[in-house]
Amino acid sequence: MRIVAADVIVTSPNRNFVTLKITTDDGVTGLGDATLNGRELAVVSYLRDHVAPLLIGIDAHRIEDTWQFLYRSAYWRRGPVTMAAIAAVDVALWDIKAKVAGMPLYQLLGGASRTGLLAYGHASGKTQDELFDSIREHQEQGYKAIRVQTGVPGLKSIYGIASNATFEANTGTRYDHEPAQRGARPAEEDWDTRSYLRHLPTVFEAVRHEFGPELPLLHDGHHRMTPIQAAKLAKSLEPYDLFWLEDITPAENQEALRLVRQHSTTPLAIGEIFNTVWDYQTIIREQLIDYVRSAVTHTGGISHLKKVLEYAAQYQIKSGMHGPTDISPVGMAAAMHLGLAIHNFGIQEYMQHGSRTNEVFQQSFTFTDGMLHPGDNPGLGVELDVDEAGKYPYEQAYLPYNRLADGTVHDW
Ligand code: EZ4
Ligand code: CO
């Protein structure tokens, strides 16, 4: 079964997505997500100009060999662009193999280890009332675990607060544009770590008081603290029993987390911007984290992330795969098949896509009573409507960034 075509499809129904579609000489097609938020076209070129021509004629069943060929023959290893491109090829080939087998992909990964995947959603509010409303809204949608992000007094706009959430009147769904701000330049936000560190524990105290001790609560620090500030934060949130605290320091310095571990038992999650097992070498071996945040889309696909998660499993570290709206339904489905199959699944992030995105990508995965399931269609269970995709050309979009009061550019 030879590959006869590898097409890169860019579409922007509610936000930009890059999808690789591989076709075999038997007419079987497979999809892979290659969306790299804010740098989408770099991956398009990598795939279209350098990878697609190499795929023609390859045996589509040789997934591991194709992965190793793309990783090693390039000479230039790792990095988000390379690893997103390899991921798309890998996932598309798994999709094809599972379709040919006539099975949902999770069956080829070892079969289901559970009946469904616990998902968490994003609640946020500038004020306490808005935050409480947002938590209740998520509970009404079925979410059984909730990420809490809050405004900070004195700061005008903060990443992850849904001032830019859009309510879709036709579907009744509130979806969050958070990572996708269309425009020629990134939006500028402001930041003050000391105000944030003072304010956040008061918010978690109020949330626990209102919603009780059972509800799993998560929080994302978005890489903004120094090691000692991160340790202080983890320690100050200990009484509120978080499910996890995410990205408390910039990710490059793995050793930073040693200091945090010395001071707190708050569980830690990291890795949404990591792209190979090497980024985890110290923090897995030294047991400095509790959850691996990598997405299939950004970590070399199912083949590589499965290896990372198996390594993590030896240290009782679980998965907590990244699942914002900038992962396409194809990438989300891949995460769900992998999450259903592995033993050390922890939780899956799930923000809902907009209705136009759901028309472009027809999906068989389900979200019921707070639990995700990839569905039982052969393959990934996601198909791309190419005509529908063609209605929405690429639009320039950037993640926001932030500056301190004196104008200094701050960590992400
Ligand atoms: O900032 O997806 O945990 N989720 C996040 C996301 C990321 C964006 C980056 O593209 O931190 O909102
Ligand atoms: Co995050």
Q: Would you state the structure tokens that stand for residue 215, as one six-digit string?
A: 């509800």
Same-domain check for residues 213 and 315 = yes
Task: Find the ligand nearest to 251 CA.
Answer: 2
> Do 88 and 158 belong together in one domain?
no
* Structure confidence by residue, pLDDT tens digits, 222-236: 999 999 999 999 999
Q: For position 43, which CATH number holds? A: 3.30.390.10
> Dihedrals φ, ψ of 123, to 5°?
-100, 145
In a domain, 110, yes or no: no
Structure tokens that stand for 315 in this block = 């240290």
95 & 173 share domain = no
Domain that holds residue 91: 3-104
Whether residues 32 and 87 fall in one domain:
yes
Ligand 1 atom at minimum distance from 327 CA = 2
Structure tokens at 17: 């997505």
In a domain, 163, yes or no: yes
Which residues, other chains included, contact 103 with Cβ-Cβ below 8 Å and sequence gap of 6+?
A: 378
Residue 50 designated active-site: no
Residue 296: what are its φ and ψ, rounded to 5°? -55, -45
272 lines ligand 1 (CB under 6 A): yes
Total-model pTM: 0.96
Atom of ligand 1 nearest to the CA of 178: 12
Task: For the chain, give the number of residues.
Answer: 412
Residue at token pair 């569905």: 375
The CATH number that applies at residue 189 is 3.20.20.120
User: Is 271 a pocket residue for ligand 1 (Cβ < 6 Å)?
Assistant: no
Query: Are 352 and 301 contained in the same domain?
Result: yes
Q: Mind listing the pLDDT tens digit for each residue in 52-71?
A: 999 999 999 999 999 999 99
| Nearest partner of 34 among 9, 58, 70, judged by Cα | 9
Examine the domain organization and report whether 174 and 274 are in the same domain: yes
Active site residue 222: yes
Distance CA 239, CA 230 (A): 16
Together in a domain, 200 and 322: yes
Q: Which of 222, 223, 298, 373 is catalytic?
A: 222
pLDDT tens digit sequence for 302-349: 999 999 999 999 999 999 999 999 999 999 999 999 999 999 999 999
Report the atom number in ligand 1 closest to the C-alpha of 247: 11
Domain check: are 154 and 25 in the same one?
A: no
pLDDT of residue 240: 98
Residues paired with residue 166 on neighbouring β-strands, in sequence order: 175
User: Do 259 and 283 reside in the same domain of the chain?
Assistant: yes
Looking at the fold, whether 242 and 209 belong to one and the same domain comes out as: yes
State the chain's mean pLDDT as an integer.
95
Show the tokens assigned to 318: 């679980």
Is residue 300 located within the same domain as residue 254? Answer: yes
Residues 40 and 154 in one domain: no
Domain count, the chain: 2
Collapsing DSSP to helix, strand or coil, 138 comes out as helix
- Determine, yes or no, domain membership for 367: yes
